[in-house]
Structure 1
C-alpha cells in the first residue's frame, strides 16, 4: 500500500494533465456511467461539523475507491485544517488496498482542476482579471489553477480576515511571480473581475455577492457554501446566466444558489447543464464571451477517483510516497 501525504501529492501534481484527465473522463462518462451511490452524511451537532462517505467505481478505467472527509469549521481557532480525511484506492482484481491519499490535499486539487476545466471552456483565450473570495487552501489552489490555464492580469483576494488575505497574497506573489493583491472590501475586489472564484465557508442564505456587483460578462466558479441554504451568489443572478454544475442531482440537493433559484422559479432544471456537456461537445476555443457564466461545484466521488488514480500513477512512476506493508505483515 502506498501512502501519499500533502507534500507527496504536491510533488505529483501537474495541473494541465489533471484538467485533461478530468475532461477525458467526463467525456467517457456519457458512454460508461460511473457507479456512485449517494454519499452518506453524518452530522456532528456538538461540533457543528459533518463527515462524508463517498464510494465510487469507474468501469472504463476500472478505478475503485472511497473518500472519507470531515468538515469542522471550528478547527481554525485551534490552528487545524477545517477539512480532514483520506481517499482509499482499491485494486478491483484482488480487493487489496492500493493507496491512501490525504483527502484535503486531493480535494483542493480536484476542485480547482474542475474550476479550471469550466473556465477553460467558458472564458475567452485572453488576459483576464481574477478575484478569489476566501483565503484558505481552496483560494490558493484556485489561483494556481487559473494561472495554469490563462494569462492573468490583476489578481485580488478578499476574505473576512485581511491578515490572512495579505499573507496569502504575499506568498503567491512569490510562488507565481505575479502581482497578487489583498483588498479590504468586496466591491474593490470585484471591480473589473473577469473570473470570480468563491471559496468560502459561508453558511447564510444572505448572499455575499449581489446581482449588480459583477461585470456583465464575468465567469463565476462557486465552490464554497456547500449547504442547501447557503448562498455565496445571489440566486436571482442565475436567471440571466449560463449555468453549469459538476453533477445535476447533487447540485440541486446541496447548492444553496441552485436550490433557491429553482424554488424562486428563476431557473428550471432544464436550464442547468452538466460540465460533461462541455467536454462532449468539444466547443472551439472561446475568443470572446457574451453574458455571465456560472459553474457550481459540489464535488463528486467520480472526480475524486479520476484525480486519485492520476496522482497514484505519477507517484508510482516517480517513486514518491511511502510504501506500507502493515496489513500483509
Structure 2
C-alpha cells in the first residue's frame, strides 16, 4: 500500500465498510486483540494542538500524527493536517501512509453511522446538520450512503457554506436546504449531527422524543456544542468512557460522569435498538477507529 492523497484515501474507506470495520475492531479490543493508549495532546503556539494516536492489533499497527490549528482557515489552510502511518505489527515495516484529515473525517462519520444504525429510534428520518465543514460533509455523505437518508437541513454560522453543503447534498440525490433557525428544523428532524468548532452550545433543543444526536465537534473538556439541559434529557452513549471523561465537554459541563452515567457504544452493539429517545451519542475520537481505517485500507489496497 503506497502513500495516498486525500482522494485515494477516501476511495479505500467507503463509509458502510468502515462502520463494519470499526465494529470488528471494537470486538477485537474487547478480547484484548487490539489495543491503544489514550491519545497525547501537546500544545502548539497560537492555540494549536498536536495529537499523537498509536494503536495496534496482531497484524497491523498505526500511528496518527495530526495538528489542529484554529488559525489555519484564516491562512487558507485546513483546520486539521497530518497523516496516518500504517505498519506491519510484526516487523515494523511501513506499509503505507494515509491522508490524516481524510481518515479522521471518514472514520468519525462512519462511527456515527454505526451508532445511528445501533441506537437511533428513527434511523430513516430527516437529518439536521449543524456545521458545514469537513466533518459535516462527511456525516452527510455517510448517513446518505449508509442509512439512505433522503432529506437534510444544514445550519451554519456562515450561510454561504451551509448553502454549499446543501448543494452537495442535492448532488447526492437528497432533498436539502440551508436553514437559519435550528430550533425550527428540530421539529422535523429525527437525526441531528453537531459538527462545529464552537466552544459554546449550538444545540439548545427541544429535541423530538425519537431524536438521535451525534455530537462530534467538541473535543476538549471545556468545549460543548450541546446545551447541558439537552444532554441531561437524553439517554447518553459514548465512543469510549475514558476518552469522554477526559475530553467530552458536552457531558462534563452537563454534570455527567461518562463511566457512571453513559453506555459505551461497544456495549450496545448487538443489543435491541432503543424504542424511544432522545438519544445522544458523544464521540471524541480514539486511535482504535484509526486502526480500523488502517486495516480496511490495507485490505482494499491489497485487493482483499
TM-score range, shorter chain: over 0.9
Shift of 1:314: 0.9
Structure 1 residues 251 and 181, CA gap change in structure 2 (3 angstroms): same
Gapped runs of 5+ residues in structure 1? 319-329
Computing the radius of gyration from Cα coordinates, the structure with the larger value is: 1
SS in 2 for 1:3: coil
Count residues with an aligned counterpart.
304
Corresponding residue for residue 189 of structure 1: 185
Task: Indicate how the Cα distance of structure 1 residues 169 and 56 shifts in structure 2: closer, same or farther if over 3 A, else same.
Answer: same
CA RMSD of aligned residues (A): 1.9
The offset of 1:267, in angstroms, is 5.7
Q: Distance between the aligned counterparts of 2:249 and 2:123, measured in 1?
A: 31
Structure 2 Cα separation of the partners of residues 26 and 160 of structure 1:
35
1: distance between equivalents of 2:176 and 2:225? 22
Distance verdict in 2 for CA 1:124–1:209, change over 3 Å: closer
Residues 15 and 109 of structure 2 are in contact (CA less than 8 Å); yes or no, is this contact kept in structure 1?
A: no
Residue 11 (structure 1) shift: 2.0
Counterpart among 202, 210, 215 of residue 208 in structure 1? 202
For the Cα contact (< 8 Å) 2:43–2:49, is it kept in 1?
A: yes
Is the CA contact (8 Å cut-off) linking 2:26 and 2:288 kept in structure 1?
no
The partner residue of 1:99 within 96, 116, 136 is 96
Of stretches 107-116 and 139-148 in structure 1, the one that deviates more from structure 2 is: 139-148
List per-residue Cα deviations over 1:12-33 (Å, max 9, x = no partner). Answer: 2322211111112212222125
- SS of alignment partner, residue 222 of structure 2: coil
**Helix, strand or coil: the match of 2:203?**
coil
- CA pair 132-214 structure 1, distance change in 2 beyond 3 A: same
- Cα distance between partner residues in 2 of 1:110 and 1:125: 22
Whether the 8 Å contact between 2:116 and 2:123 is mirrored in structure 1 is no
Matching residue within 157, 169, 172 for 2:169: 172
Q: SS where residue 3 of structure 2 aligns?
A: strand
Separation (CA, whole Å) in 1 of partners of 2:110 and 2:118: 12
The within-5 A match list for 1:227-242 is: 227-242=220-235
2:52 is aligned to: 53
Q: 1:271 aligns with which of 232, 243, 261?
A: 261
Task: Report 1:247-258 matches (<5 A).
Answer: 247-258=240-251
State whether structure 2 residue 297 is matched by structure 1 residue 301. Answer: no
Return 100-109 or 121-130, whichever deviates more.
Answer: 121-130
TM-score, scaled relative to structure 2? 0.94
Q: Deviation per CA, 1:146-187: give whole Å up to 9, x if none.
A: 11232324300101100011111112211x111111112222
- 1:141-160 counterparts in 2 under 5 A? 141-160=138-157
2:194 is matched with which residue: 183, 194, 198? 198
- 1:41 — aligned with what? 41
Does the Cα contact within 8 Å between 2:122 and 2:210 map onto a contact in 1?
no
Residue equivalent to 1:217:
210
Native 8 Å contact 1:239 1:267 kept in 2: no
Q: Deviation string for 1:250-309 (max 9, x for gaps)?
A: 1011011121223xxx56732211111022xx134x4x7312111111100011011122
Kindly state the Cα deviation for residue 92 of structure 1 after the two structures are TM-superposed: 1.7
Cα distance in 2 between the residues matched to 1:13 and 1:234: 33
Contact 2:10 2:103 in 1 (8 A): no
